[in-house]
Amino acid sequence: MSAIEIQDHLQQLNAERALALIEGLGEDSAYMTDLDGEIAATRSAYVGAAITEIASLRAELSGPQVG
| Domain count across the chain | 1
Q: Residue 67 falls within a domain, yes or no?
A: no
CB-CB contact of 20 with 38 (8 Å): no
The predicted pLDDT at position 66 comes to 73
The predicted pLDDT at position 42 comes to 98
Question: Residue 53: what residue type?
Answer: E
Q: Residue 50 falls within a domain, yes or no?
A: yes
Q: Residue 55 falls within a domain, yes or no?
A: yes
Q: Residue 65 falls within a domain, yes or no?
A: no
Per residue of the chain (67 residues), give pLDDT as tens. Answer: 999 999 999 999 999 999 999 999 999 999 999 999 999 999 999 999 999 999 999 999 998 777 6
Domain holding 29, by residue range, is 3-59
Q: Residue 66 falls within a domain, yes or no?
A: no
CB-CB contact of 3 with 49 (8 Å): yes
The predicted pLDDT at position 67 comes to 66
d(CA 12, CA 58): 29
Direct distance between the N- and C-terminal alpha carbons of the chain, in angstroms, rounded to an integer? 33
CB atoms inside a 10 Å sphere around CB 6: 19
